[in-house]
A and B are shown apart, each in its own frame.
Chain A
């Protein structure tokens, strides 16, 4: 049981910043899941698979353009759209027939997708590692009080709030956002006033999956792109959504913050057990606020 030495203010600041950049990815993925779970009530365990597909597509598109800056931006735009397209096809073709089923059956159905997507990724991309390098202007690091902070993490720190702002605008200020929020609470009523609920659901599903793809695209230059990415992210995403409040975007942000920061600060303070800090946080939250920290739509 060793506490790490050198807990200077500089190191702490560093860890907070690193935690925040991890929060960005977690938030983007979790908010997508929160939308799908909160509005459509589908426990989509294939959300992680879509994240993985987003990362692989990003690799392919970026490599097509020689992993240049242009390639990077194109990949960031195209890869999540590909994921959104896949989810649209799946939703129109299969999911829309199953909305009336039990939750557990929907869970089973999305689970079968993780199996299928997992092997499809292996078929298409093979089983080698893929490694994507960040574009030139984001390579390297800046130095904060003599400690390096990778420029790509800085990029994530900027992207996170942008996506959050975009989502807020979408859900609060646009018509479709307002309809979706209403449908989450009472779908029959929304249908009764003449709105095509199915179309709304399709839109929400596609947006949620787009976010999963976006998360995968953003994380691609920092990690190994491999099979198994889906398993790693899905538990974290579900836990964040639960502690944040189902269907609540700000809740997803709060949950992601808790996860990202407890992990990175834990590494500094108590490295042996940093892995359990997020789970302990989840347990504590659920014991004191069983329905999540913020209001949920269920």
Chain B
């Protein structure tokens, strides 16, 4: 079968999964909705592998295949088709997405086992995977925007999955509103680009760009505007500063959702976008600089916030934000293969970390705060092992995959020279911070004295909360529909969870082997046909900087682990002392714990004025102008007019007769005048 047929199959299976689960859930027995969902994504993964094999059957110059299903609106000035583009980049993305998604679906079967919204969950999750695949397989801007919007919608549905919790619904709304801002940027950016290229197809756009649609210089006005607006879309979806405030709140969703959407797939859509649009970005270095700076700023700020958070899922969320900062920085400076490689490895270890976090949250019966966790090492050995693997990968310790990918990004950044050295330095500072906060989390949760829940688990039965509470606000909640189920799953007791986590751990460890610098270039070679026209694609890292970079990365990772050990394990009161007694420490801690006050800034700058404008519009414009003047005025006029006319129907027969006679006289008079 041709690669594009495999491509359509990749899209078909999750769509079928959604439809079957959504419409048939009443008739599906037991927990089969979960198995159907998982099978759908597994089939999609198989189809993705098929697409890979079929694609590699072509010569490298002919690996960009477009297949159109039907013409949606091909008319004067516009060409919108329902078509997919199968090329190395999209195959790379669909493999990552379907691979990680299959494992997360498997994990969810156990995790959401007692939840009453089980079928709804899998319908939403399949819909999400379908949307993400649509996004990465789209071959024109229209389908990209459609996929983008669907992904945002799926994210909203899944974040507010436990919809009777006000915190969850509020988080869902926040995520969706910020996503919409990104959508607006995306659509406007498309317009600016379409204005010059007059085609919606990607390949056509790139061809037109090469042929001079934006001139032959760089930084043409419309192109920069378009690329910056595309970046706005990318930042909203990938949670970069300043549109990042939704990601920590999105942790209100179930943990597998956080693992899939907010670690491995949806937040990488921005990275994919920049990589896909690289011919445009290469002609607009100003936009590339914006992206690089935003990525660097995010990775630093998110790293510092991660140091101060106490909710385990939020620590991992900020770490995601930080790592995506690396990826954005990477693809903005031209390190496409490196950035995408980091995307793949990050998907593995971040999904693994979230799954493990779900396991320990289950052991704590829904409690998510690190302050209440401790000493789970003996009670949850498998989870501990997964955390270690994921944490080491995240910290960039060799031979784990994170080491190779992260350092590759930084290497290429350093190669560019000039002001990019600042990004290089920031990148390594970020790596240091990453190691610290990651292992702060691991040590606080697993080392030290076991908390009562851990002791219960060691004793053999998991802890159950008597009154289930909302982990964020502490309010009591019941376990009816719209809330989590009454029991929680832990990895040690659920085989599907262990299989999923195990496979991801293997990936986290071994994925780095495909792209060891100077040794093998699997990812580079695979992606080359897409990026053939990129300016810095060929890796020509000088040996000197290579060695320095690799050693520095390793050392910083290990140093971070050691520092975390010293502060949180060896000398337990150190953190508290730093926070409270060192003056700089107190100020910094306040800043980090309040997330650099971005939420408050948004609230003051945007939320309050818009709410005030809405109140004004409702009171003055709608009430006074529309209701009273326009509608009331019109009806009043009609009522008055009809009251005036109604006076002619007064019921007096004589009056009617008189009018008759008068009428006849009038008509007669008229005819008399005529003669």
Same complex = no
- Chain A residues near B (Cβ < 8 Å): none
- Chain B residues near A (Cβ < 8 Å): none
